[in-house]
Amino acid sequence: MLRYVYANDLYQYPQLAASMFRDRADQFKTRLGWEVSVDEHGFEKDQYDELNPLYVIWENADGSHGGSMRFLPTTGRTMVNEHFSHVIGGGEVRSPLIWECTRFCLSRTASSRMAALLVVACGEVMHHFNVEHFVGVFDARMVRIYRMLGASPDVLGRDGAGRDQVSVGLWHYDAADRNKVLRRAGVSLALSQLWFDRSFGADDAQDLAQSA
């Protein structure tokens, strides 16, 4: 199932949180060779994990992590504005209607539909938090994945070439996109909404949206 969990509440899901941070270390450090920090527990964390981001996490039947993403409003600190501003010509992306999405991570054992399930969660976040766009940094390997999902972004800027190219993208996710991704993920809209409501409840989500 999909869980929506703020960083301050991750302590309630110790196995899920630990396996997420270990899978992040495995993906970003071991497999991709990024210059990220891994602590003594084998966790990959950075300064943005300290800002109480919202995580979307697929929880496997055994309570472990299958895939995840991290969200922060662009009205506060973001990776795009603090580290990748040069990619978009030195500007910034700031709006209450735009959230940053980072740390798109899949475990080694993730099913073929895991990426689509995470994109389904993007639709729920947009719908319930009154978000119109996501902004994020992505590398060349993600281009094919986004195209396969039917979720290719508008590219705001690129830096580098080939496999080392880094881009900043802006995603809009309308009702037609949502329905396509739901079909790819093999879940109904009702089930997707149930997963969200189990994490927040509709009234709580609206309150959070107004205070974000």
Domain span including residue 21: 2-200
Would you say residue 208 lies in a domain?
no
Two structure tokens written together for 43: 């966790």
Q: What is the mean pLDDT of residues 24-38?
A: 93
Distance CA 116, CA 107 (A): 14
Q: What is the pLDDT of residues 186-211, one digit of tens each?
A: 999 999 999 999 998 765 444 544 44
Asked if residue 177 has pLDDT above 70, the reply is yes
Would you say residue 173 lies in a domain?
yes
Domain count of the chain? 1
Q: Domain containing 71 — which CATH number?
A: 3.40.630.30
Would you say residue 212 lies in a domain?
no
pLDDT at 203: 52
pLDDT at 78: 97
Would you say residue 151 lies in a domain?
yes
**Average pLDDT in the chain:** 90
The predicted model scores a pTM of 0.90
pLDDT at 126: 92
- The CA distances from residue 30 to 14, 27, 46, 48, 150, in Å, are 23, 6, 16, 21, 28
Percent of the chain with pLDDT over 90: 72
Sheet containing strand 166-171, edge to edge, reads 2-6, 54-59, 65-73, 98-106, 133-139, 166-171, 154-159
Would you say residue 141 lies in a domain?
yes
Q: What is the mean pLDDT of residues 93-121?
A: 94
Asked if residue 75 has pLDDT above 70, the reply is yes
